[in-house]
Amino acid sequence: MAQKIIFDTDPGIDDAMALFFALASPEIEVVGVTTVFGNVHTELATRNALALLEFAGRSDLPVAQGAVRPLHLPFEEPATLVHGQNGLGEVALPAPKTSPDPRPAAQFIVDAVMRFPGEIILAPVGPLTNIALALMLEPRIVERVAGVVLMGGAATVNGNVNPAAEANIWHDPHAADLVFTAGWPVTMLGLDVTMAVQMDDAYFAGLRTSRLGEFIHAISRFYLEFHRQVHGLDACHTHDPSVIAYLIDPTLYTVEYGPIRVVTEGIAMGLTLWDRCGKWLRPNAWTGRPAVGVCTRVDAPRVLALFHERIVGERLPAQ
C-alpha cells in the first residue's frame, strides 16, 4: 500500500523536483499539498504548487495555502538569488486554472490526519510553520500521524544561511523547536546528507527524455548557476528530493538517534543542536525530549539512480 503524505512546500526549484519525484513514485500517495513562505512568498508558493500539479496532470490534488510569516519573527525575504523571482528559475508555467482549497494549511493538515489516523506522514520541505500551527490547533495529531519526515537542519555540518543554521530552520526556529520536541516520530534529512548528493549538468541532461525531466532540466539552469557562483560547484545539492528518496527507500540512509533542540535567538539562531551523548550529570533542555532520527550518511549513487528512474521511467545507465 502506498504511503500517504502531505507535502508541505515553498516551491522552489528543488521543491518542484521533489514534488514530481513523489508523484512519479508508486510507493507514495500525495493526499494534498500545503504551502508556506520561504523560497518565495506564500501566495507565489501556492500559485507554483497549483501550476506544477497541473503540469504533472494532477490538478485533482488539493493545495491549501499556509503561513505567510514565522510564528514570532518577521519573514526576512525570499530566496530569489537561489530560485529566481518566480521561484522556478525564471521558467514560466501557465497560470493555474485551479484554485486553492478554502481551508488554511494548518486546518487542512489537521483534517487529513484526523480522517486517516496512523496513515499520513507529514513531509515538509520548507519552514516548519504550518506543521507547528497544525500542532497548536489540534495537539492530538501527535498520536495520529505516522511520522514527520523533513528537509532541514544541519546536525554535523555548518548551515547554509550562516555557520549555525540551515535555511528552513532559520526562517522559523520557534516552529522547528516545537516540531522536534512534540513527541511524534521525526526524521531529519539535513545538510549532512543533502549536500552529499549532487546533480551536475550531465545528470540533468539525462533527464530530458521525459516531459517532467525536460522541465527539471530547464529550471536547473538557474539552480546550477547559483551553485557555481556561491559554492564553486559544477553541480547542485539535492535538498528537497532527499525526503522523497527516504520515504521510498529508507535503506539509502544511515540514521542515528538523539533529541534535538533549536536555538531560537542570538548569533546561533536556527541551529539544530543534537544531543549525541545522552548522559549528563545534570538535567538540561534535552533531558526527556524525544529522540529524532538524524540521517548522517547517504548512498548518493543510489539516490541519483532512483530519482532518474522515477522521472525518466527507466534505470540510469551503468557508469
Q: Which residues are catalytic?
A: 10, 239
**Nearest 5°: CA angle at 137, between 288 and 135?**
35
Q: Which three cell numbers stand for residue 218?
A: 530547464
Q: Are the CB atoms for 278 and 174 separated by under 8 Å?
A: no
Phi, psi of 79 (to 5 degrees): -90, 60
Q: Which helix (H) or strand (E) holds 18?
A: helix 13-23
Helix (H) or strand (E) holding 21: helix 13-23
Assess contact for 120 and 5: CB atoms under 8 A: yes
Backbone angles phi, psi at 60, to 5 degrees: -70, -20
102 Cβ neighbours under 8 A, 6+ residues apart: none
Task: Please tell me the distance from the alpha carbon of residue 242 to that of residue 193, in angstroms, as a whole number.
Answer: 8
- In the numeric block, the cell 520541505 is attached to 125
> Could you tell me if 271 and 157 are in contact, meaning their C-beta atoms sit under 8 angstroms apart?
no
Nearest to 225 by CA among 205, 200, 242, 206: 200
In three-state form (DSSP H/G/I as H, E/B as E, the rest C), the secondary structure along 210-253 is: CHHHHHHHHHHHHHHHHHHHHHCCCEEECCCHHHHHHHHCHHHE
> What SS3 class is residue 304?
helix
Residue 165: phi, psi to the nearest 5?
Answer: -120, 140
Say how many C-beta atoms besides its own lie within 10 A of residue 108's C-beta. 26
